[in-house]
Amino acid sequence: MRSLEVKNRTSTDDIKSLRLITALKTPYLPDGRFDLEAYDALMHMQILNGAEGVIVGGTTGEGHLMSWDEHIMLIGHTVNCFGGTIKVIGNTGSNSTREAIHASEQGFAVGMHAALHINPYYGKTSADGIISHFEAVLSMGPTIIYNVPSRTGQDIPPSVIRTVAQHANTAGVKECVGNDRIKEYTDEGIEVWSGNDDQCHDARWGFGARGVISVASNLVPGLMHELMFEGKNSTLNSTLMPLIEWLFREPNPIGLNTALAQLGVIRPVFRLPYVPLPREKRIEFVNIVKELGREHFVGDEDVQVLDDADFITVARY
């Protein structure tokens, strides 16, 4: 189903060169549909503050709560509006090989620059099965492999990564296991992005990582850019830690969703099964923002502590 139109094509090397990729939040309207105005505003904030790529519909963007047609639509929308300025990486991975194939074909057809692919979470499979899964999609275009055993229930064995890394379309690995694992790969010439905001500074400057696929950069894109581009900076890294720790106390993107709503850049709407952080954590966030400086965060409004009644959770959408 491949299209050869030049406009669609980005080289794998282009993807390999990215240092700051944001796993973008998907904002919602009160009825649970996408809030594209808010989304476009978030995209502008990313572009203006130096993000070079975005993951559309990642776990942070709640791709697992989208139907595939919503997901592909969002990729197509992002490419159409911003694809000339920033690399658009669609999370077209799935634990179903059929769905991963279908979504990746469609994502590349609407112009995404690269795909993010996960090993089959929940269902799990053998090492041979994981390789077959990735091989079913690798021929379609530039691809980042994503390893996050705390979500998938299964670590992708390094032997599988090594096999898959030989494909010309493999741009590299988003690795969440830790910096020793990262070093193992970067020593062999495999590009790696840290998937852990708290480890990404060291990964980048001490373990050979190319950069980060970040959640925190949704909030402080400029600081994350500085962390990845301006040289080793343990002071900045330490300064960011309270924010990062706060972000991940509950499974991501619960903290992020709560934070963006309090910064006034998205409506306080949650698709279930996500629910907002409790009030005491919401107060903590406001203090963190004041400590770090409101000017480093996205948005122009005062940060505020939202009330329970301000939040909307939607089950049918």
Which residues in 81-110 contact its own copies (CB under 8 A)? 81, 83, 95-98, 101-102, 105-106, 109-110
Binds its own copies by CB under 8 A, chosen from 143, 154, 179, 218? 154
C-beta of residue 190 within 8 angstroms of C-beta of residue 165: yes
Binds its own copies by CB under 8 A, chosen from 17, 34, 294, 312? 34
Would you say 35 or 52 has its CB closer to its own copies? 35
Binds its own copies by CB under 8 A, chosen from 23, 42, 45, 65? 65
- Asked if 141 touches its own copies (CB under 8 A), the answer is no
Compute how many residues bind its own copies; rule: CB under 8 A: 75
* Of 78, 77, 125, the residue nearest 100 (C-alpha): 125
Question: Two tokens at 252?
Answer: 């991501």
String of contacts with its own copies for each residue 39-58, x by CB under 8 A: xx------------------
C-beta of residue 221 within 8 angstroms of C-beta of residue 22: yes
- Which residues are CB-contacts of 116 (< 8 A; sequence separation ≥ 6)? 55, 58, 89, 90, 91, 92, 93, 143, 144, 146, 174
Please state whether the peptide bond connecting residue 273 to the residue before it is cis, i.e. omega within 30 degrees of 0: yes
Q: Give the active site residue among 39, 121, 146, 185.
A: 146
Would you say 92 or 237 has its CB closer to its own copies? 92
Give least dist CB 129 to its own copies, A.
4
Interface with its own copies in residues 224-263 (CB under 8 A): 250-251, 254
- Which residues are CB-contacts of 85 (< 8 A; sequence separation ≥ 6)? 47
Binds its own copies by CB under 8 A, chosen from 180, 230, 295, 316? 316
**What's the rounded Cα separation, in Å, for the pair 91 and 100?**
9
Cα–chain center distance at 280: 27
**What's the rounded Cα separation, in Å, for the pair 287 and 127?**
46
Would you say 76 or 208 has its CB closer to its own copies? 76
- Asked if 4 touches its own copies (CB under 8 A), the answer is yes
Sign of CA dihedral 29, 34, 40, 41: positive
Residue 156: DSSP 8-state: P
Catalytic residue flag (residue 146) = yes
Q: Give the active site residue among 16, 174, 185, 290.
A: 174
- Asked if 29 touches its own copies (CB under 8 A), the answer is yes
Interface with its own copies in residues 161-200 (CB under 8 A): none
Q: Which range of residues in 18-26, 143-151, 224-232, 289-297 is near its own copies by CB under 8 A? A: 143-151
C-beta of residue 142 within 8 angstroms of C-beta of residue 113: yes
- Asked if 129 touches its own copies (CB under 8 A), the answer is yes
**What's the rounded Cα separation, in Å, for the pair 300 and 48?**
14
- Asked if 280 touches its own copies (CB under 8 A), the answer is no
Would you say 36 or 236 has its CB closer to its own copies? 36
Residue 214: DSSP 8-state: E
Q: Which range of residues in 158-166, 171-179, 270-278, 301-309 is near its own copies by CB under 8 A? A: 270-278
Residues forming the active site: 146, 174
